């Protein structure tokens, strides 16, 4: 019994010594492991290098441009470059045309707002939440436009998009070529429709209903 008690005493003494050593001499990991080098090519100021840029071809009346790093829009200059992540809006008497190299063009009428989401060579993506825009593109780069819960894909051709904020409707008129419309109805069913040249598609955001006229 005495031997066993001595064993316990020396065991706890040894255990206490080990804990004390670890407390006063903590192990340090190599610096390279503690703080690994992290690199990124993301830039708030500049869009991804592979994305294309557009230019403001014409300006009439009040036109505003919001850059990637600005909190307030300013009046742009003629032939000024625009890139993905930026926004363009027009006032009551404003109009502007944006050309994206030789691939696409946007003509904004008055009281219109467009966000430039993506200008990658594979696909241009815009968000139009109000106003009237005429979109034109080549077959090389499809153009996608989101308005409310409706997504419109223009593969090649010309279309106009009218977004009515008050009545919450979107009207797509196909001038040339065809477009595909995608949305979810009130039953959460996915709908994809093709609208041909000369036809008009009207989407009701409130009731989640789309009709071809």
**pLDDT in the model for residue 86:** 97
Q: Determine the Cα–Cα distance for residues 203 and 155; give it in Å rounded to an integer.
A: 20
Q: Determine the Cα–Cα distance for residues 55 and 49; give it in Å rounded to an integer.
A: 16
pLDDT tens digits for range 105-137:
999 999 999 999 999 999 999 999 999 999 999
Q: Is residue 174 helix, strand or coil? A: strand
Share of the chain above pLDDT 90, in %: 74
Mean pLDDT of 60-74: 95
Confidence of residue 53 (pLDDT cuts 50, 70, 90): very high
DSSP H or E run through 35: none
**pLDDT in the model for residue 43:** 57
DSSP H or E run through 62: none
The larger pLDDT score, comparing residue 122 to residue 3, is at: 122
Cβ count within 10 A of residue 8: 9
**pLDDT in the model for residue 7:** 45
pLDDT tens digits for range 151-176:
999 999 999 999 999 999 999 999 99
Q: Which two tokens stand for residue 181?
A: 């419309």
* In the predicted structure, residue 33 carries a pLDDT above the cut 90: no
DSSP H or E run through 137: strand 123-137
**pLDDT in the model for residue 25:** 53
**pLDDT in the model for residue 181:** 98
Mean pLDDT of 75-86: 96
**pLDDT in the model for residue 19:** 47
**pLDDT in the model for residue 4:** 42
Q: Determine the Cα–Cα distance for residues 54 and 117; give it in Å rounded to an integer.
A: 13
Mean pLDDT of 71-98: 96
Mean pLDDT of 98-102: 95
**pTM confidence score:** 0.79
DSSP structure class, residue 49: T
Average pLDDT score, the chain: 86
Classify residue 119 as exposed, middle or buried by CB count within 10 Å of its CB (0-12, 13-18, 19+).
buried
Q: Determine the Cα–Cα distance for residues 201 and 62; give it in Å rounded to an integer.
A: 30
């Amino acid at each position: 019994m005495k031997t066993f008690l001595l064993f316990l005493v020396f065991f706890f003494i040894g255990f206490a010594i080990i804990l004390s050593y670890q407390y006063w001499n903590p192990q340090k990991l190599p610096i390279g492991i503690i703080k690994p080098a992290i690199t990124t090519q993301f830039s708030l100021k500049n869009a991804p290098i592979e994305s294309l840029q557009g230019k403001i071809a014409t300006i009439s009346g009040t036109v505003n441009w919001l850059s990637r790093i600005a909190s307030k829009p300013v009046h742009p200059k003629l032939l000024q470059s625009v890139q993905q992540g930026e926004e363009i809006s027009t006032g009551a008497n404003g109009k502007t045309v944006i050309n994206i190299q030789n691939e696409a063009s946007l003509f904004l009428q008055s009281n219109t707002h467009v966000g430039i989401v993506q200008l990658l060579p594979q696909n241009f993506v815009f968000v139009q939440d109000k106003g009237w825009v005429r979109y034109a593109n080549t077959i090389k780069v499809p153009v996608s436009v989101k308005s409310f819960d409706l997504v419109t894909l223009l593969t090649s051709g010309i279309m106009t998009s009218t977004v009515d904020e008050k009545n919450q409707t979107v009207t797509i008129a196909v001038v040339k070529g065809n477009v595909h419309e995608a949305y979810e109805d009130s039953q959460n069913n996915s709908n994809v429709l093709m609208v041909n040249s000369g036809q008009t598609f009207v989407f009701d955001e409130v009731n989640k209903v789309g009709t071809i006229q």
